[in-house]
Amino acid sequence: MNISTNQLLWHCRRGTRELDALLKPYAAAKLADMTCTEKTNFGQLLEQQDSDLLDWFFGNRKPDDPNLDQMIQEILQFIGRS
């Protein structure tokens, strides 16, 4: 995946208050320092359905992909929810 920082920031705008509150602050603080691999993982996370993201962030389910699970945990830790 070859996606720019600006594209990732744009894709953080989900239209749901809960996801916007999780994704946008994390991206604003972390994207500039992410490696290419981390940006790829974050981009893959942003490609997921909002319903799946909400389930994962609120602990109802875990993603099958360990990279996505790690990204979820990092975001939760960043916002102080883990």
Radius of gyration of the chain (CA): 11
Residue 13: domain span: 5-79
For the stretch 18-68, pLDDT in tens is 999 999 999 999 999 999 999 999 999 999 999 999 999 999 999 999 999
pLDDT (0 to 100) of residue 6: 87
Task: Give, as one character, the DSSP assignment of residue 60.
Answer: S
Residue 82: pLDDT above 60? no
pTM, full prediction:
0.89
Count of structural domains within the chain: 1
Confirm if 78 and 26 have CB atoms less than 8 A apart: yes
CATH number of the domain encompassing residue 21 = 1.10.150.250
pLDDT (0 to 100) of residue 15: 86
Band of pLDDT at residue 2, cut at 50, 70 and 90: low
Which residue, chain included where needed, has tokens 């602050």? 25
